Each structure stands twice: as structure tokens, then as C-alpha cells.
């Protein structure tokens, strides 16, 4: 490259001798100072100086991926499992554009992540240079914030600020775009201690008045429910503890979004299962009929609420969220509480213990919930000949629940079955693409989790279609000795697409059949992984044990019933109490519902 | 998605009837009001693109937009946006703006809620004879200044509420209106306090 003249203009402002580092060295030093032990990346022309700096040090481990999208999802998986900030690195142009999907995914699911991209030298920006893309322009709407660093002396501060922004307030992805000449130039390093953002100081402490109002409303509840979400997980383990304490103190039933699974133990009798389109019958009915809803760290997503104007019509709603824009966005909150979930939950636990007077008896409400439970919304007819996908997840759960297990998923039917039939006891054990619904998320995310916890059992519950979107990362798993288990529920269909075509589009199965599927066992062997195929329910347990006991990456081709649908289901445009339990004909969904996604 | 396909029932307690998305709004929607918002932002590269991108990405209206640095030492700019929507959408606009990392404050400076709004326009009028005299006479009524003149033209500088400028431009139209350049609305809260 020809950036010499620019490099001279970016010469250090003060001579501080050995404090002077190149931009690339500053990146690595800043990562180390931020406590980053692992980054996921792919080299290219515009990041070669950073790769030199990686080569020269031992502190930060670099996991070489096969596609930048993989690096982004790995960083997300790493972040969700550890609670720390995930870090990914890509080159300019196509490297950066390949990173767009993980950035959008992390923004939707509030995952703290810092992504570094290389950029062409500053003097070439705007000239349509080789591998130039307007990265900050392209990623502006799919990051929480992004930066283009023009001066090496701003680099260290910018990186520390990026970590601050990614991890404070509602977490999210932050991108730092670094032109190649800035990576070469020498400049001053500053540590993370001095960094505070000029204007970004999100509120985390709840207002006392709001907590009092919430407690007053809660004290009179006859049909209460706690509706928790991914915010409780993001807030950290203490928030999950506070949620459990509040549930214990109040005796209230608890449901959660897809993102919030694990914050409350599924083994608790107070657990109603997941809420929403494919949530439990009891949870959706309880949401519909409740009189007080305590929403904590969830955002009334359309997959949760169903038809908005029929959503929980008789309830007063308390909404705790760190992001004020989530409050009153889709559903009007009677008591908005802008705060970190953990802090607000703790305040509610303390307040509840000091509460004077007796609360109404909620036994009749529990009796009603038990009646809904008795409908057994997740029941399915099992088969001795074919593996039912639900059965496969049930067996997987039984055989892995006592181990140190982490579950990731792709997107589709298998994801919903995993959410329904795999029961989580602890937070940070479940990584799934909720908001964006990114097929291809689970395999790289599993690798990211495994990189953080090399000894854990990390399983990607996958579908045959999704898994092919990022299959190339099996090579990454082999290279870095990350023994992830890819458990494919193979029904030879894009199952959720097929289900919608069956129910909503007159059984016209347009392009949803997974034709020309690879032989997953041979594919596993080609990558140097272990391949397992299972078609007989009688052999399933043994095959799963073989997967668990194999000390290297496994592709498990679990051949399941092809026509199975995901139930129960709230059809599009329907209300929570219009949930469908078994086979449906399509008549249940009106024209209006078909228009919705 | 158009409004017509939204399933509607009689609103029940605690259920909002506002359109959930700004894209659902039509001109006939009741309760649509105009609001002028002033955003105090860190003056960093791309900040205007962030604000504008938020409006286009979420389907909000921008009726007028002005931006300039207001404090060089503090690196602060003020972006004044005139927008419209239902109360619900306007509330979301404020909150979504505040989500942007470089946005420090959003102040409601709408006329009706104590803001005082002004706009400046440069208006070029060309003509001879009576029309030329008439344009000068009208400009005096509007307290406009002539800032450039030739034998056959004037450029007027006129300041005031947007409606006043609209009126001035309309009156100039038959008198030889050539070109108009407007700043967009600026607004500030009345009284001695600093807003926000």
C-alpha cells in the first residue's frame, strides 16, 4: 500500500519513548487491557498490520474462522455464554459486509460485542479503492454505535469507549473501523481506566417512586404473572437470583421469552414454560387472563404478544427495561420502570419483604393455571418406527442434563422444539437467535461457546437447512480442537417454511424441500469430524451417548419424522387464548393473519 | 403492511389503539400532530446520518431539518427536526433518538408547548415596473430586507414563523418569483431557563 505520506502526518504528537505503539499494537494492547482472551477473525489486506501484532504476542488467542459471519456469531456465542464482551475481527470490504448479519443479530438480541474491521488507508477512502466499502455507513443501522478512526492517537480511547458502549446500558454490537495507515502509524496508548463516555450514561437505578407504585399494584394482584426476558440474562447472574427470590417471595407464576430461558429454573413448579407463538398453553393463557403483569427485561415482541389489540386485555402492566424506548413501544405500560433488571428486581424483593397487609389469595389462580397445564399442550403422539423430533430433544435433554451442557440452535422448527423440550436451570446456557432469526447462527455460536469453555459439552441443536448456511465452520472447530456437537434434526425440509406453507399457503411447498442434501456422515468425515446417523428410535440413546463420548466435533444426522409440525401455535393475527393445540387446517388463520410474518 | 389489514376490535382497557408502526399512519389518521424537536448531539462524523437514518429506517416523517454546531469547545451541535405523528409515534421518536449514543438531549420546542419558532428565507424576485414596486411594498409589510438588487431583481431576506414565509412566497409568486431558499425551522424555549 501507499500510505507513507499519510503515515507521516499521523506522526506522534508527543515523544513518549516506549509508550509509542503502532496502531496495530494499540489494538492488541487495548484488547489485553480489556481482559479479552479470545478473538474470532479472518485476515485480509486491510488488517495485515493487526495480524502482525497478533503474531507477536501470546495474550490474546485468535480463532481463525472460515467466513466472517462465522466470526461474528462465534463472538456472540462467546458473549452469551460468558457474559463478557465478544470480539471479532475482519478485513475491509467483503470482510465487513459479511459481518453485517451477526451485527444485526447482536443488535436485536442485545449482545455485547466489539467488531474490528480494517479499512483502506485514509487517503484512499472515497476513491472506490480495492476492497473498499463504506463500513460505518453500511453498519450504522445494525450497530449500537460505530467509529471510523482517522488518527492513531484517538485509537486507544476509541477502542475503550467501544467496549464501554457495548457493555453499558442495553448491550449491543459496536464496530471500530481502522484504516490501514492508522494501523501502521505510531501513537500514544492510553489505558481503559480514564475512559468514560462524554454523553452516554444510561440510567440503571430504578426510581424509588416507581418501585413503590409497582409494589402497590403487585400487592393487590389476584391473577399475577412474571414475564421475564433476555434482559434478565444480560443483567448478569445476580438478576436471575433476584428473579428467583422474587418468585419465591410472591409465589407468582413465571414465564419467559425465548431469549430469557434459564433465568428461572424450568424444574420449579412456578415455571409455566415459554410464552409466545410456540410457547406453552398455560403460559399464554395466563398472560391473557392475568390482572397484573410484571414484565422484566422483555420487549413485547410480536412473537410474544400475538394480536396486539387482544393482548392481555384485562391486566395492569409493570415494565422494567434499561432501554426507555422499549417501554410503551408496542404495549402501553401502566408503571414504567427504567432500570437495570437486576437492580429493579432486588428493589422489588426488598420492598415485598417489608410489605404491610395481606395480599389476595392467589390459589384460585394457580388452580386455573393447573387446569391449563392439564391440557398438556406439548403432548405429541410418539412413534416406535420413526424418531419424533420432540422425542429426540427429550432424550437429548435426559442424557445431557446432569452434565456441564450449553445449547445453541439454528432457526426454525428445531429451535422451537429445543425451547419447548430442553429444560434450562441456569442462565447463559442457551444461545439462540431470537430477534433476527438467523439461520446459520447455531454452529458458529457453539464454537464460540466451546472456545470459552473447552471442557463443557456444547451442542448445536440444528436443522438440516440451517446448518448448511455456516457448515464451513466445522473446519474451524477441527483446527482449534473445539469438540462441538452438531445435533441435526433432519426432516429434509425447511421445516418452519413447510409448516407455514401447509397451514397458510394451501400446501404449495414452493422451494422448501431440502433437495440434494449432503450425506452428513460423509461430510463429517471429510472435515475430519465424527459422523453419526440415527433413524431408529430404539438406537437413539446409544447414538446420543456415542456423540457425547466422542472427544472431537460430531455431526449427528438424526433422521426424524418429516411431516411433524410445531405445536402448540398461536396463529398469526390471533390472540393468546386462541392457541391451537394440535393439527390445524388453515381455516383458523384469516386473510389478515396471512399478511403478517 | 397497510392499515386496512390490521385486525381491529373495540379497544379494551389498557390496550392502545394507535398504529404500532409509523408506516401504518395515513393522512386521515386522527390525532396526528406536528412536533418540533431539538436534539443536542456530540458533533462527531456521521451523527446527522444516524439521526436521519433513524427517521427513514423507522418510517418517521421529517418535515424540516436544520443543523449547526452550537458549542465548538463542547463539540456540540443542535439538530432541529419538525416531525409529525400520533402521540405514541412522537413519544417513540424521542426515545429512539435518545438511544443513539451521541444524542445527549432531546427537547420539545414545539410552538404550542412554549417553543418559539423562526425560519429564514432568501427570496429572489425578478420584474419591472408595477410588479417590482409592489414586491418592494409587500416586503416592507413583512419586514423583509433587500440584500441584493439589480435593475430587474431583488433578493429579500425574510424571517419569521414558517407560515409567514409561506405567505410571503405566495404573494411574490405573481410578481416574478424566481427562486426560494429556506433554512428550515429553528426553535428555542421561551423564558430564562435552559431547556432539557
- Count Cα neighbours of A403 within 13 Å in the Cβ-side half-sphere: 16
What H or E segment, with its residue span, contains residue A392? helix A389-400
pLDDT of residue A82: 98
Rounded CA-CA distance A480/A68 in Å is: 16
State mean pLDDT over A538-558. Answer: 98
d(CA A461, CA A442) in angstroms, rounded, equals 7
Q: What are phi and psi of B115, to 5 degrees?
A: -90, 155
**Which pLDDT tens digit goes with each residue over A456-498?**
999 999 999 999 999 999 999 999 999 999 999 999 999 999 9
Alpha-carbon span A21 to B137, nearest angstrom: 69
* A77 closest CA partner among A374, A389, A367, A476: A476
What is the spatial distance between Cα A410 and Cα A465, in angstroms, rounded to a whole number?
9
Buried b / exposed e over A498-507, threshold 16 CB at 10 Å, is: bbbbbbbeee
Q: What pLDDT was estimated at residue A163?
A: 97
Q: What pLDDT, on the 0 to 100 scale, is given for residue B2?
A: 33
Q: Is the pLDDT of residue A18 over 60?
A: no
Closest chain B C-alpha to A170 CA, distance in angstroms:
9
Instruction: Provide, rounded to the nearest whole percent, the portion of chain A with pLDDT above 70.
Output: 94
pLDDT tens for A67-76 read: 999 999 999 9
Task: Read off the pLDDT of residues B41-87 as tens digits, 9 standing for 90 and up.
Answer: 999 999 999 999 999 999 999 999 999 999 999 999 999 999 999 99
Looking at chain B, the number of H-run helices and the number of E-run strands are 4, 9
Chain A closest-CA separation from residue B193 CA (Å): 21
Cross-strand partners of A394: none
Count how many Cα atoms sit within 13 Å of the Cα of residue A451 in the half-sphere of its side chain. 33
Count other C-beta atoms under 10 Å from residue A522's C-beta.
Answer: 12
Domain ranges of chain A: 4-194, 208-374, 389-566
Average confidence (pLDDT) over A566-593: 78
What pLDDT, on the 0 to 100 scale, is given for residue A279? Answer: 97
Domain with CATH 3.30.70.260 in chain B: 26-108
Average of per-residue pLDDT values in chain A: 94
Q: Least CB-CB distance to B7: which of A170, A199, A592?
A: A592
User: Has residue B39 got a pLDDT over 90?
Assistant: yes
Look at residues A288, A219, A231 and name the one whose alpha carbon lies nearest to residue B14.
A288
Of A309, A325, A590, the CB nearest to B99: A325
Fold match, A208-374 / A389-566 = yes
Beta-bridge partner residues of A295? A227, A319
Among residues A314, A258, A243, the alpha carbon closest in space to that of A285 is found at A314
Q: What pLDDT is stored for residue B26 in this prediction?
A: 60
Residue A446 and residue A458 in contact, taking contact as beta carbons nearer than 8 Å: yes
* C-beta separation of A147 from A136 below 8 A: yes
Q: What is the three-class DSSP state of A585? A: coil
What are the helix (H) ranges across A529-584?
540-549
A180 is annotated as an active-site residue? yes
Asked if A591 reaches chain B (Cβ–Cβ under 8 Å), the answer is yes
Q: Hey, what's the cell of A498?
A: 413447510
Is A325 in CB contact (< 8 Å) with chain B? yes
As annotated, the residues of chain B forming the CATH 3.30.70.1150 domain(s) are 116-188
Answer whether residue B4 shows pLDDT above 50. Answer: no
- Please give the residue of chain B at the shortest CA–CA distance from A199: B104
> Using one digit for the tens of pLDDT, what is the confidence trace for A239-281?
999 999 999 999 999 999 999 999 999 999 999 999 999 999 9
Distance from CA of A135 to the nearest CA of B (A): 12
Q: What is the mean pLDDT of residues A390-395?
A: 98
Percent of chain B past pLDDT 70, that is, above it, reads 85
Tell me how far apart the alpha carbons of residues B143 and A238 are, in angstroms, rounded to a whole number.
65
How far is A393 from A397, CA to CA, in rounded Å?
Answer: 6
- pLDDT computed for residue A560 by the predictor: 98
Residue A150 distance to chain B (closest CA, Å): 11
Q: Is A496 a catalytic residue?
A: yes
User: How far from A224 is each of A137, A263, B183, CA to CA, in Å?
Assistant: 45, 19, 54
A8 in active site: no
Q: How far apart are CA A350 and CA A364, in angstroms?
A: 26
CA angle B120, B125, B131 (to 5 degrees): 130
Mean pLDDT along residues A519-524: 98
Cell of residue A115, nine digits: 467488531
- A490: cell is 433432519
Whether B92 and A198 lie within 8 Å, measured CB to CB: no
- Rg (alpha carbons) of chain A, rounded to whole number: 25
Whether A5 shows a pLDDT value over 60: the answer reads no
Q: Note the pLDDT of residue B31.
A: 87
Nearest to A170 by CA among A81, A247, A254, A231: A231
What's the average model confidence in pLDDT over A302-309?
92
Of A233, A563, A209, A549, which Cα lies nearest the Cα of A400?
A: A549
| Chain B residues touching chain A at CB-CB below 8 Å | 1, 5-9, 11-17, 20, 42, 45-46, 49-50, 53-54, 57, 75, 88, 91-92, 95-96, 98-104
pLDDT at A515 over 60: yes
A208-374 fold: Rossmann fold (3.40.50)
Contacts of A14 (CB under 8 A, 6+ apart): A188
Q: Please give the pLDDT value at position B27.
A: 55
pLDDT digits (tens, 9 = 90+) for B93-106: 999 999 999 999 99
Q: How many angstroms separate the CA atoms of A376 and A421, rounded?
A: 13
Mean pLDDT lowest for which of A263-267, A499-503, B7-11, B30-34? B7-11
- A141/chain B closest Cα distance in angstroms: 7
Kindly report the three-state secondary structure assignment for every residue of A170-188.
CCCEEEEEEEHHHHHCEEE
Taking residues A15-40, report their average pLDDT: 88
Q: Which three cell numbers stand for residue A197?
A: 463516555
Mean pLDDT of chain B: 88
Report chain A residues whose CB lies below 8 A from the CB of B53: 140-141
Rg over CA atoms, chain B: 21
The cell numbers describing A181, all together, are 495507515
Dist. CA A7–CA A13, nearest whole Å: 13
Summarize pLDDT for A406-465 with one digit per residue, the tens.
999 999 999 999 999 999 999 999 999 999 999 999 999 999 999 999 999 999 999 999
Q: pLDDT at position B193, please? A: 87
Q: What is the mean pLDDT of residues A136-153?
A: 98
Surface-to-core class of residue B13, CB atoms within 10 Å of its CB (0-12 exposed, 13-18 middle, 19+ buried): exposed
The model's pLDDT over B123-177, given as tens digits with 9 standing for 90+, comes to: 999 999 999 999 999 999 999 999 999 999 999 999 999 999 999 999 999 999 9
Give the C-alpha separation, B87 to A197, whole Å. 31
Please enumerate in sequence order all residues whose Cβ is within 8 A of that of B52, keeping only pairs 6 or more positions apart, or say none.
B62, B65
Kindly report, residue by residue over A306-352, the tens digit of the pLDDT: 999 999 999 999 999 999 999 999 999 999 999 999 999 999 999 99
Does the ipTM exceed 0.90?
no
Distance of CA A222 to the CA centre of its chain: 34
Q: Which of B70, B66, B33, B35 is nearest to B51 (CA)?
A: B66
pLDDT of residue A590: 67
Bigger pLDDT: A582 vs A193: A193
Cβ A416 vs Cβ A566: under 8 Å: yes
Chain B residues near residue A333 by CB distance under 8 angstroms: none
Residues 6+ away with beta carbon under 8 Å from B14: A312, A313, A314, A315, A316, A317, A332, A334
CATH superfamily, domain A4-194, is Thiamin diphosphate (ThDP)-binding fold, Pyr/PP domains (3.40.50.970)
Mean local confidence (pLDDT), A86-108: 98
* pLDDT(A357) > 50: yes
DSSP at A66? S
Percent of chain A whose predicted confidence (pLDDT) is above 90? 89
Q: Which CATH class is domain B26-108?
A: alpha beta
* Helix A442-452 / helix A68-82 crossing angle, nearest 10 deg: 50
Contact A31, A207 (CB under 8 A): no
Cell of A158: 476509541
Q: Quote the crossing angle between the two packed helices A48-55 and A23-33, to the nearest 10°.
A: 60
CATH topology classification for A389-566: Rossmann fold (3.40.50)
Is the preceding peptide bond at A568 cis, omega within 30 degrees of 0? yes
Q: Which residues of A touch B75 (CB under 8 A)?
A: 198
Any alpha helices (H) in A43-172, and if so which ranges? 48-55, 68-82, 94-98, 100-108, 135-139, 155-167
CATH number assigned to the domain covering B116-188: 3.30.70.1150
Cβ <8 Å between B7 and A590: yes
Of A580 and A84, more confident: A84
Residue A509 C-alpha cell reads as: 411447498
Beta strand B115-126 pairing with B186-189: antiparallel
Which residue in the set B53, B88, B95 is minimally distant from A325, CB to CB?
Answer: B95
Can you tell me the distance from the alpha carbon of A335 to that of A12, in angstroms, rounded to the nearest whole number? 53
Q: Do B101 and A328 touch (CB under 8 A)?
A: no
Amino acid at each position: 500500500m501507499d500510505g507513507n505520506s499519510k503515515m507521516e502526518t499521523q506522526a506522534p504528537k508527543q515523544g513518549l519513548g516506549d509508550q509509542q505503539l503502532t496502531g496495530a499494537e494499540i489494538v492488541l494492547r487495548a484488547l489485553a487491557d480489556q481482559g479479552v482472551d479470545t478473538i474470532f477473525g479472518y485476515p485480509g489486506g486491510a488488517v495485515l498490520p493487526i495480524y502482525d501484532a497478533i503474531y507477536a504476542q501470546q495474550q490474546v488467542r485468535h480463532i481463525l474462522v472460515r467466513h466472517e459471519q462465522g466470526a461474528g456469531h462465534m463472538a456472540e456465542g462467546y458473549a452469551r455464554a460468558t457474559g463478557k464482551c465478544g470480539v471479532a475481527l475482519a478485513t475491509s470490504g467483503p470482510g465487513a459486509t459479511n459481518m453485517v448479519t451477526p451485527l444485526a443479530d447482536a443488535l436485536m438480541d442485545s449482545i455485547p460485542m466489539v467488531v474490528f474491521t480494517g479499512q483502506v488507508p485514509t487517503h484512499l477512502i472515497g476513491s472506490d479503492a480495492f476492497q473498499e466499502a463504506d463500513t460505518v455507513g453500511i453498519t450504522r443501522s445494525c450497530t449500537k454505535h460505530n467509529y471510523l478512526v482517522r488518527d492513531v492517537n484517538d485509537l486507544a480511547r476509541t477502542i475503550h469507549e467501544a467496549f464501554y458502549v457495548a457493555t453499558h446500558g442495553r448491550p449491543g454490537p459496536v464496530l471500530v473501523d481502522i484504516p490501514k495507515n492508522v494501523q501502521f502509524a505510531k501513537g500514544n496508548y492510553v489505558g481503559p481506566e480514564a475512559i468514560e463516555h462524554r454523553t452516554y450514561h444510561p440510567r440503571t437505578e430504578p426510581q424509588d417512586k416507581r418501585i413503590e407504585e409497582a409494589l402497590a399494584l403487585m400487592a393487590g394482584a389476584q391473577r399475577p404473572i412474571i414475564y421475564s426476558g433476555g434482559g434478565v440474562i444480560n443483567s448478569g447472574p445476580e438478576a436471575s437470583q433476584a428473579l428467583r427470590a422474587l418468585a419465591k417471595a410472591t409465589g407468582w407464576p413465571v414465564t419467559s421469552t425465548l431469549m430469557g430461558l434459564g433465568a428461572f429454573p424450568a424444574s420449579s413448579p412456578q415455571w409455566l414454560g415459554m410464552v409466545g407463538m410456540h410457547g406453552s398453553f398455560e403460559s399464554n393463557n395466563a398472560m391473557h387472563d392475568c390482572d397484573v403483569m410484571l414484565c422484566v427485561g422483555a420487549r413485547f415482541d410480536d412473537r410474544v404478544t400475538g394480536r396486539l389489540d387482544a393482548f392481555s386485555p384485562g391486566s395492569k402492566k409493570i415494565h422494567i427495561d434499561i432501554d426507555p424506548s422499549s417501554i410503551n413501544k408496542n404495549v402501553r405500560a401502566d408503571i414504567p420502570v427504567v432500570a437495570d433488571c437486576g437492580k429493579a428486581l432486588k428493589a422489588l424483593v426488598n420492598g415485598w419483604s417489608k410489605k404491610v397487609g395481606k395480599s389476595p389469595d392467589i390459589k384460585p389462580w394457580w388452580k386455573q393455571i393447573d387446569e391449563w397445564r392439564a391440557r398438556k399442550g406439548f403432548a405429541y403422539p410418539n412413534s416406535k418406527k420413526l424418531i419424533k423430533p420432540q422425542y429426540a430433544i427429550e432424550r437429548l435433554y435426559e442424557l445431557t442434563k446432569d452434565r456441564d451442557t450449553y445449547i445453541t440452535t439454528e432457526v426454525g422448527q428445531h429451535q422451537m422444539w429445543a425451547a419447548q423440550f430442553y429444560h434450562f436451570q441456569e442462565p447463559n446456557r442457551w444461545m439462540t437467535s431470537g430477534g433476527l432469526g438467523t439461520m446459520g447462527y447455531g454452529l458458529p455460536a457453539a464454537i464460540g461457546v466451546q472456545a470459552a469453555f473447552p471442557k463443557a459439552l456444547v451442542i448445536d441443536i440444528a436443522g438440516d437447512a440451517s446448518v448448511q448456511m455456516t457448515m464451513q465452520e466445522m473446519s474451524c472447530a477441527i483446527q482449534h480442537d473445539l469438540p462441538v456437537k452438531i445435533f441435526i434434526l433432519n426432516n429434509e425440509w425447511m421445516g418452519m417454511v413447510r409448516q407455514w406453507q401447509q397451514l397458510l399457503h394451501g400446501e404449495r411447498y414452493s422451494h422448501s424441500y431440502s433437495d440434494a442434501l449432503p450425506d452428513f456422515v460423509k461430510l463429517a468425515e471429510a472435515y475430519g469430524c465424527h459422523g453419526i446417523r440415527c433413524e431408529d428410535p430404539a438406537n437413539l440413546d446409544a447414538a446420543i451417548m456415542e456423540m457425547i463420548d466422542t472427544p472431537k466435533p460430531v455431526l449427528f444426522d438424526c433422521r426424524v419424522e418429516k411431516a411433524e409440525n410445531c405445536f402448540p401455535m398461536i396463529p398469526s393475527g390471533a390472540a393468546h387464548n386462541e392457541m391451537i393445540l394440535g393439527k390445524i387446517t388453515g381455516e383458523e388463520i384469516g386473510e389478515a393473519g396471512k399478511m403478517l410474518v | 403492511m397497510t392499515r386496512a389489514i390490521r385486525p381491529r376490535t373495540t379497544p379494551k382497557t389498557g390496550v392502545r389503539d394507535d398504529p404500532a408502526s409509523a408506516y401504518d399512519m395515513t393522512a386521515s389518521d386522527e390525532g396526528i400532530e406536528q412536533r418540533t424537536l431539538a436534539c443536542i448531539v456530540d458533533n462527531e462524523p456521521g451523527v446527522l446520518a444516524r439521526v436521519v437514518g433513524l427517521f427513514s429506517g423507522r418510517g418517521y416523517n421529517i418535515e424540516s431539518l436544520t443543523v449547526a454546531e452550537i458549542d465548538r469547545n463542547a463539540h456540540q451541535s443542535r439538530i432541529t427536526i419538525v416531525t409529525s405523528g400520533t402521540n405514541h409515534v412522537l413519544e417513540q421518536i424521542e426515545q429512539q433518538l435518545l438511544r443513539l449514543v451521541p444524542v445527549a438531549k432531546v427537547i420539545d420546542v414545539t410552538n404550542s408547548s412554549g417553543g418559539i419558532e423562526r425560519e429564514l428565507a432568501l427570496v429572489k424576485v425578478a420584474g419591472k415596473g408595477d410588479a417590482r414596486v409592489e414586491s418592494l411594498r409587500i416586503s416592507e409589510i413583512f419586514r423583509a430586507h433587500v440584500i441584493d438588487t439589480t435593475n430587474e431583481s431583488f433578493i429579500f431576506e425574510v424571517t419569521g414563523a414558517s407560515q409567514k414565509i409561506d405567505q410571503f412566497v405566495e404573494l411574490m409568486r405573481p410578481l416574478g418569483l424566481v427562486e426560494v431558499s429556506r433554512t428550515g425551522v429553528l426553535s428555542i424555549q421561551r423564558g430564562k431557563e435552559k431547556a432539557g
